[in-house]
Structure formats: C-alpha cells, structure tokens
Amino acid sequence: MTAQLIKGTEIREQILDEIEKEVKEIKEKHNVVPGLVTILVGENPASVSYVSLKVKTAERLGYKEIQDNQPEDISEEDLLALIDKYNKDDSIHGILVQLPLPDHIDDKKILNAIDPDKDVDGFHPVNVGRLMIGGSEVKFPPCTPAGIQEMIVRAGVETSGAEVVVVGRSNIVGKPIAIMMCQKGKGANSTVTIVHTRTKDLEGHCKRADILIVAAGVPGLVKPEWIKKGACVIDVGVNRVGEKISEKTGKKVAILRGDVDFDAAKEIAGYITPVPGGVGPMTITMLMRNTLNSLKFRQGLM
C-alpha cells in the first residue's frame, strides 16, 4: 500500500486563494484590509528569513503590512511601548513578535503585553484559555496546530471517534493540537492520548493510533512497525540532518528530515505528510487566516 500524500504546499495555495478572495470582497464592501505588524528584534538569520516569508505572504494577500525591525539592544521598556502603540492602532489587527528575543528581554512579559484580540499567534494566556474552552470561545487557534487540523479535514480523514495519538507535549504544538482534536466540532471529536519522553510504552500507544501526530523533534523516532495499517500520519518534525548543494540555486541548503521514517511509513500508512512540504507551509497560512479573522471579529463579520 502506498499512502496518499497530504501536501501542505498544495493546501496552502487553496487556502491563500480563499483568503485573497475574501480580502478583496471585504475591501470592496467595507473599505478595510487586514493589518499585520511583524516586530523583529536583532538580525538572527533564521528569524529574518521567517519574517520575510510572513511579510511576502501578507503582501501577496493585499494586507497592510508593517515590518517594524528593532535593534538587538532595544530595551524591554521600549519594546513594551511599541506593542502598546500597535495595540491602540485600529488599522492593525495582528501583532507578531518574532521569537527568540535577546536574553535581556523577558519573552513572556512581551507576549502577554499583546492585546489578546490582536494575538494572531494564539500564544497569549487568554487565547490558550479560549482554546481550552473550545467552540465559539476560540478566536486564534495557534497556527501550527490549526494547520495540522486543516490538513486532516481537507484530506477527508474521519476524526470523529478516531484514536488520536500525539507525540510531544510542547505549548506550541503537542498540547494545543491534543486539546483541539478532542473538542466537539468539525475535524475533532477524537479520543486523544498524549505521549512524551516519560511515556512507558511509546510504541504500544502509537500502534493504536488512527491518526498519529508526531511533534518530537527527533529524526526517524517513529518506526514503520509502530504505524497501524491505513493510519493518517502527520509528521510535524523538522530536523536538519546535514547539508547539500541545491540543484536549483547551486547554494548550500539544509537536508531536512521529519520525526517519522517516511520511506517505510508511506507503505503502511493510509495518509502521510512529507517533510519538507507537509505541515511546514501551513503555519504562515494559518497566521494569515487568523489575521483576516481578527479583522472580521472587529467588523462584526464573524
């Protein structure tokens, strides 16, 4: 059996087209567009490239985009004042502070200063609480878990009553996706188990999964014999395992591997996400959707 590939690159294009269309309609009817500010402190190369991708995507969709780059030595007080300025700016619907921040700045203090109604990353404790309550309380589901759920739904995988096993319990992936999958509603209603480094029988739990979501950051952790025949396998892991020369650009690029032994797993699973090109492209896509939804909440359109 060869699994059906769930391609994040294709689903991203479908969703971005949907967002673009909606942005145009809202602009025509209400003369407003979603506004997103990205705040980058310092010049960490990975953060620079991540922010530039977000900016490019926002611009493609017709958003108002402010890229507010700040020097590495900005004080915590000045950064808080900047966030306060954007909290009060009615043309801004999403505020994004790129992590990591320099050591002299307290990440938590900064993220908690963002107005929860502009927290499109969904990391503010108010939004974590809303996610836990579920249903219409949820405003901004965190972007990677939201992307995972969207992929499962668009692939047509049945989630109601399904055994879902989540490998990993981080605040940005494992815990929120586990909560989302067990809520009432579309793409959910599952029976969820979270497994982690202290779990006694990792293999035994994984073998039971109709939907296996792996976010451990350990290349090849999930072996093919841990996968139930026909299961849906979502590999969130992105691990750099070496470097190669790109055929397209002639430049050195990282070799990326997921947490699942893909080549063997695809012969057993019913559905599987590749790495790269699986969950990865979904995160920024869902960030764009959260920003659009923020505008819609404000305009009373949702």
Count of beta carbons in the 10 Å neighbourhood of residue 252: 9
- 279 forms part of the interface with ligand NAD (CB under 6 A): yes
Specify whether 54 is catalytic.
yes
Q: Is 276 helix (H, G, I), strand (E, B) or coil?
A: coil
Q: Kindly write out the interface string for residues 169-208 of this chain, putting x where it contacts ligand NAD by CB under 6 A and - elsewhere.
A: xx-xxx---------------------xx----x------
Catalytic one among 118, 119, 121, 139? 121
Structure tokens at 291: 């920003």
Q: Which residue of 168, 176, 187, 270 would you call a contact of ligand NAD, by CB under 6 A?
A: 168
Q: Is 41 helix (H, G, I), strand (E, B) or coil?
A: strand
- 44 forms part of the interface with ligand NAD (CB under 6 A): no
Question: How many residues interact with ligand NAD (rule CB under 6 A)?
Answer: 23
- 11 forms part of the interface with ligand NAD (CB under 6 A): no
Specify whether 251 is catalytic.
no
- 15 forms part of the interface with ligand NAD (CB under 6 A): no
Query: CA–CA separation, 27 vs 152, rounded Å?
Result: 31
- 23 forms part of the interface with ligand NAD (CB under 6 A): no
Shortest Cβ distance from residue 215 to ligand NAD (Å)? 4
Residue 225 DSSP class: G
Q: Are 144 and 282 in contact (CB under 8 A)?
A: yes
- 238 forms part of the interface with ligand NAD (CB under 6 A): yes
- 223 forms part of the interface with ligand NAD (CB under 6 A): no
Shortest Cβ distance from residue 80 to ligand NAD (Å)? 25
Q: Is 147 left (phi over 0), alpha (psi -120 to 50) or beta?
A: alpha
Structure tokens at 209: 């999964």
Whichever of 35 and 174 has its CB closer to ligand NAD, that residue is 174
Q: Which stretch binds ligand NAD (CB under 6 A): 47-55, 60-68, 223-231, 233-241?
A: 233-241
Q: Are 110 and 75 in contact (CB under 8 A)?
A: no
| Residue where the block lists tokens 């109601």 | 160
Alpha helices per DSSP H over the chain = 8-30, 45-60, 76-87, 107-113, 125-133, 143-154, 174-182, 202-207, 262-265, 280-299
Supply the residues annotated as catalytic: 54, 98, 121
The residues binding ligand NAD (CB under 6 A) are 144, 167-170, 172-174, 196-197, 202, 215-218, 221, 236-239, 279-280, 283
